[in-house]
Structure 1
Amino acid sequence: MLDYVVVGGGIGGVLSASLLSHVGRQVILFEAQSYLGGCAGTFQRKGFYYNAGASTLVGLEENMPLGRLMKFLGLEPPTKEIDPSMVVHIADRQIRRYKSWEDSLAEIESSFPQLKHRAFWERVKAVSQDLWSLSCDLLPYPSPSSPIKALLKHPLAFLNTILCHFVSSRRVARFYLGEFNSKYESFLNHHTLITAQGYMEEVPFSVASLGLTYPNLTNYYAVGGMGKVVESFASRIKHVRLKEKVLSIEPMPWGFLIKTTLGEYETKRVILNTTIWDAGNLVRELKPYSERAREKYRKMWGAFVIYMTLEDSGLEDLSHHHFILLDKPIPYTGSRSLFLSLSEREDPILSKDGTRSVTLSTHTHLHLWEGLSSEEYMERKQKALEYCMEELYRHIPSLRYVKKLALFAGTPKTFRRFTLRYRGSVGGLPAVMDYFPFNFPPPLTPVENLYIVGDTVFPGQGWPGVALGVINLLKFIEKDIGIC
């Protein structure tokens, strides 16, 4: 009998299976697709490779969650440091988000000279640094002893951050900066949107501080695509079953019976790398749990993503990531921003044979893509694509004249098909004040020995958040694994 079955090969599933396999547990990871990574994976289409979503990667330092896991596993994923982490385009301005705190602040001050930025950004920096120093000692979550442990070990950091969970980031910004114009508000809003899935007025200052400073962490380019980073962690898993979909999970007196498209398996414990909204689709006993989650946690986002392969000849030197903020919403999305990720010229997979791979993504409201006829769906898809491309050309004009060898788009319907996520949602559960931190779902479920990892359980999205969530789960179920 297996010790664990892990269902789903996204970041959370791969990290969980990797750690458990590394310490000698008998583990099988099942993934329905032919590749690992889910929304953070790399896929192939007509001979070209693309990252499924925005390909920012942070948190590989030893004091960060992902860095702790890398050290524990003895891994060095194929990455390369990049600086600046991104270029923000807003109106006629470009703001480079450098790793250097002073250089980054100088860029912001130059673009918005009428505001006294330093006090606000120093506060943002202090809170984010304290939260990262507290992160391991606040686990496991939820546990009444964890906050006490963190307070005793890091009293100043704990007291400096505790109230930040209960005040909106917009309120703090107003306190330090006074009145600021719509351009600056858009600049702040969209940083929290891409990192916490919410705007400044919704997101607590604690979470916003992490999102606003992530460009100042060491940022990395994933050589060969984000999927190669996932595969690096998966190399520690002895048994990975791709293209084998789990059909059902049945609790038994001795554990669980797993039924897949290719067979049946017995295991003591199960880890689902799925959303809280989808868990009941696999486990009948979790249907009430998922139904309550769908009722309680209604805020979620989808993505509209354009994938391109460009001919590299004549393409100017561009930064890896461009964050384009718009004045008007993109049709059929409700979003006012675009995030472009460009493969590096020397990348052996994404940029082979003189090409460059591009992922251009934006948030979208899910209901705008639901209940449509085929004709309506295709019409909306084409109009959104054309609008996004024109905005891209307006901000980076040289791209208009670069030959496109491939160009296609994905919607929430596409993500639902390939990731099996509820309504095609991406980005996880928003870390907004209605949910975070005390109403955020834990990794434990009502079914004993059955757990959930990923971006809809504490503490949420992104590589650092999901990695910390995996550590959190292991502190419940494998207390002897001393990662942090």
Structure 2
Amino acid sequence: MKFDTVVIGAGIGGLTCASLLTKTGRSVGLFEASGALGGCAGAFSRGAFAYPVGATLGLGFQPNGVHQRLMHVLGREIQSFPVDPVMEVKHPHFTIQVKADREAHVQNLQAYFPEISSGIASFYAYVFQIGSTIKQMMQHFPRFPMKNMEDVKRWLRGSSWKTRKLVPLLSQTVYSVLKHHGALDPDFIDYLDGQLIDSMQTDTRHCSALFGLYALDVYHSGSHYVYGGLSQIAETLGDVIESGGNSIYKHEPVHSVTKSRDGFTLQTEDGRSIQARQVILNVPVQSLCDLLDAALFTKLTVKWRQKASQAIWSSCTMYGAIDETYLRNTSLYTQHITVPGGKTNGEHFFLSISSRDDETRAPAGLRSFTISTHTNPRSWIENNDQKSQIEETIYTQLQAKQPEVYEGIQHAFSASPKTWEAFTRRPSGMVGGFPVTRSEAVRGALSVQTPVKGLYMCGDSVFPGASTMGVTYSGIHAFEAVTGLSFTAMEELLYDL
């Protein structure tokens, strides 16, 4: 088998890249180890119910959002609607609705934290200012770390005099910005930690100010519920690839990648040999030591090899069904912080419930739900009782803070990091990318261009990191790096037509 390009892994990043390559007439083979598309944003069915594997809240579907722009270029559409409130946050000391409108959100927070009211106003004015500046830059799909003059030009195209204000943030954390604005209240920090652990995989004390402030603003740029779940992104992109004449090979894990005279040779576990001029890896960087042959792996720089040995978070997840007669004005998305400062193992978890009119996920009268909590995958090796302990923590919190959900649960089951590893084929079930700390966000960031010519990478291991928005950006970056084409030029051509 021969292809112009082989993409390994059918996560959202790999599917984005492969769909754009298909759109521009390239020969692409997409190989996926599991039987499902979407990776951590995929879905599975059990009986009459469909469950999002992990990611649930839709970001980037608003006008000029990255998903909306991608679907426009591909001539497709995904059904969704904006949610407001974005979510509820339930903490032992407060319950807060996260309003979609920026001004209403700030006023809501000031009402809950009156002692730091002026600090909150000042902090969020800065958050929204930084968010607007970065959003403008991201419209041009800048790549980082910069590898060539084209990357420099991209940053310059998205830059303005306002961009200079971003430079000091490179050396700051969200916590230091909070301190500057006089908003250091322990409960308010808990609230922000909850927002950042889900989006940046770290907390205010460690999170890069540059990316953390942008993440806090993104929730107010257009949070959406996607009918059928975020796996609809994957299914739509998969259809673009196959209807465009290319193939997706499910249940066909690639066993090895070696350098050949004309590009690369890949071997699947079934013994199939594949030739490709370029290879795009949509796998965690931790997979590279096993996937690349020894000669190829040693060509990676020290930074890449160190990243390949660095552990990240995994997830423990619960799935189930709720009788909707128990639900009154329950938010579709709820973040729980069960103990002050809690971040893992049920001490912080995110609940999403299917919409009443979404019968693709549950029969009439019932709703499907997904609950996810961060966990350390290595700790599960020594403690097999963790799953039941986490379940008990979650049930206790629901009974206290969302009794209508607790009482309405009809059935539920859980997935450990080992389950995640089996479903996604990610080592130790690691998900979510690297924590976006001050050091990782800049010095530690990986580019879509690996140190090996013709070998590229997309997904949550490379810039700009996790979330369906982040990996979609990386898929577009990989497409542009492979082809030399510009995504924005493709958009302009469509508008001219």
Question: TM-score, normalising length from structure 1?
Answer: 0.92
Give the drift of 1:403: 4.0
Q: Which residue of 2 aligns with 1:346?
A: 357
Q: Secondary structure at the match of 1:454?
A: coil
Q: 1:388 aligns with which of 382, 394, 399?
A: 394
> What is the CA–CA distance in structure 2 between the aligned matches of 1:460 and 1:140, rounded to whole Å?
12
Query: Could you tell me which amino acid in structure 1 is paired with residue 431 of structure 2?
Result: V
Which has the higher mean CA deviation after the structures are superposed, 321-330 or 188-197? 321-330
- 1:228 to 2:232 alignment: yes
Quote the residue 1:189 is aligned against.
193
**Further displaced range: 164-173 or 315-324:** 315-324
Which position in structure 2 is the counterpart of 1:361?
372
2:347 paired residue number: 336
Change in 2 beyond 3 A, CA 1:386/1:335: closer
Aligned 1:283-302 pairs, distance under 5 A: 283-284=292-293, 285-288=295-298, 289=300, 293=304, 295-296=306-307, 298=310, 300-302=312-314
- Match for residue 282 of structure 1? 291
- State the AA in 2 paired with 1:75: R
Give yes or no for the alignment of 1:260 onto 2:260: no
Aligned to 1:459: 464
Aligned AA (1:392)? L
| Range with greater deviation from structure 2 (234-243 or 285-294) | 285-294
The alignment covers a number of residue pairs equal to: 476
Task: Report the Cα offset of residue 119 of structure 1.
Answer: 1.2
Query: Counterpart of 1:361 in structure 2: which amino acid?
Result: S
Cα distance change on mapping 1:29 and 1:214 into 2, 3 Å: same
Q: Counterparts of 1:467-482 in structure 2 under 5 Å?
A: 467-482=472-487
Please, which of 318, 327, 335 is the counterpart of residue 323 of structure 1? 335
C-alpha distance in 1 between matches for 2:62 and 2:328: 31
Equivalents in 1 of 2:200, 2:181: separation in Å? 22
* 1:204 corresponds to 2:208: yes
Return the alpha-carbon distance in structure 1 between the equivalents of residues 477 and 168 of structure 2: 22
How far the C-alpha of 1:28 sits from its partner, in A, is 1.5
Question: 2:481 aligns to what SS in structure 1?
Answer: helix
**1:88 positional shift:** 1.1
In the other structure, the counterpart of 1:129 is: 132
Where structure 2 has 5 or more consecutive residues not aligned to the other structure, the ranges are 490-497
Q: Contact 2:48/2:363 (CA < 8 Å) preserved in 1?
A: no
Q: Which residue of 2 aligns with 1:120?
A: 123
Task: State the Cα distance separating 1:151 from its structure 2 match.
Answer: 4.3
Which residue type is aligned with residue 244 of structure 1?
A: E
Structure 2 distance, partners of 1:61, 1:400, is 33
Code of the residue aligned with 1:250 in structure 2: it is: T
The answer to whether 1:242 aligns with 2:250 is yes
Structure 1 residues without counterparts, runs of 5 or longer: none
Shift of residue 160, structure 1, vs aligned partner = 1.8
SS class of match (1:257)? strand
**2:202/2:436 contact within 8 Å kept:** yes
SS of match in other structure, 1:356: strand
| 1:474 partner amino acid | F
Q: CA deviation at 1:64?
A: 3.2
2:108 alignment counterpart: 107
Cα distance in structure 2, aligned partners of 1:388 and 1:290: 42
Residue 279 of structure 2: aligned partner? 270
Q: Residues 138 and 158 of structure 2 are in contact (CA less than 8 Å); yes or no, is this contact kept in structure 1?
A: no
Are 2:97 and 1:96 equivalent residues in the alignment? yes
Contact 2:346/2:390, CA 8 A, preserved across alignment: no
Match in the other structure for 2:325 = 313
The CA distance in 2 between the partners of 1:186 and 1:30, in whole Å, is 41
From the superposition, tell whether residues 122 and 144 of structure 1 become closer, same or farther in structure 2 (CA, over 3 Å).
farther
Asked whether the equivalents of residues 366 and 412 of structure 1 are also in contact (C-alpha less than 8 Å), the reply is: yes
Q: Call closer, same or farther: CA 1:68–1:403 in 2, change over 3 Å.
A: closer
Q: For the residues of structure 2 that align with 1:291 and 1:55, how far apart are their CA atoms?
A: 35
TM-score by length of 2: 0.90
Q: 1:224 Cα shift?
A: 1.3
Distance 1:153 1:455 in 2: 23
Name the SS for the 1:415 alignment partner.
helix
Which residue in the other structure is 1:87 paired with?
88
How far the C-alpha of 1:290 sits from its partner, in A, is 9.5
1:14·1:230 contact (CA, 8 Å) conserved in 2? yes
Partner of 1:26: 27
Are 2:419 and 1:414 equivalent residues in the alignment?
A: yes
AA of the residue aligned to 2:34? Q
Give the match for residue 493 of structure 2: none
The match for 2:52 is 51
Letter of the 2:292 counterpart: V
Q: What is the identity, as a one-letter code, of the residue corresponding to 2:339?
A: D
Measure the CA separation in 2 of the matches of 1:80 and 1:158: 32
Shift of 1:293: 4.4
Distance in structure 2 (CA, Å) of the matches to 1:13 and 1:215: 25
Q: CA deviation at 1:48?
A: 2.4
Question: Which whole-Å deviations, capped at 9, do the CAs of 1:261-306 have from their partners, x for residues lacking one?
Answer: 4533222111111011112322214444499646457352111111
Q: CA deviation at 1:475?
A: 3.0
Query: For residues 396 and 152 of structure 1, what CA distance do their matches in structure 2 show?
Result: 48
Amino acid at match of 1:29: L
Match of 2:407 in 1: 401
Q: What's the CA shift for 1:113?
A: 1.1
- In 2, are the aligned partners of 1:66 and 1:468 still within 8 Å (CA)? no
Identity of matched residues, %: 26
Counterpart contact for 1:224–1:349, Cα < 8 Å: yes
CA distance in 1, matches of 2:462, 2:236: 24
Describe the SS at the equivalent of 2:255: strand
Deviation of the 1:194 alpha carbon: 0.9
SS in 2 for 1:434: helix
Structure-2 residue corresponding to 1:174:
179
Q: 1:138 to 1:235 in 2, by over 3 A?
A: closer
How many angstroms apart in 2 are the aligned matches of 1:155 and 1:128?
A: 14
Question: Partners in 2 of 1:30 and 1:219 — Cα distance?
Answer: 31
* Aligned residues of 1:277 and 1:290 also touching (Cα < 8 A): no
Deviation at 1:66, TM superposition (A): 2.7
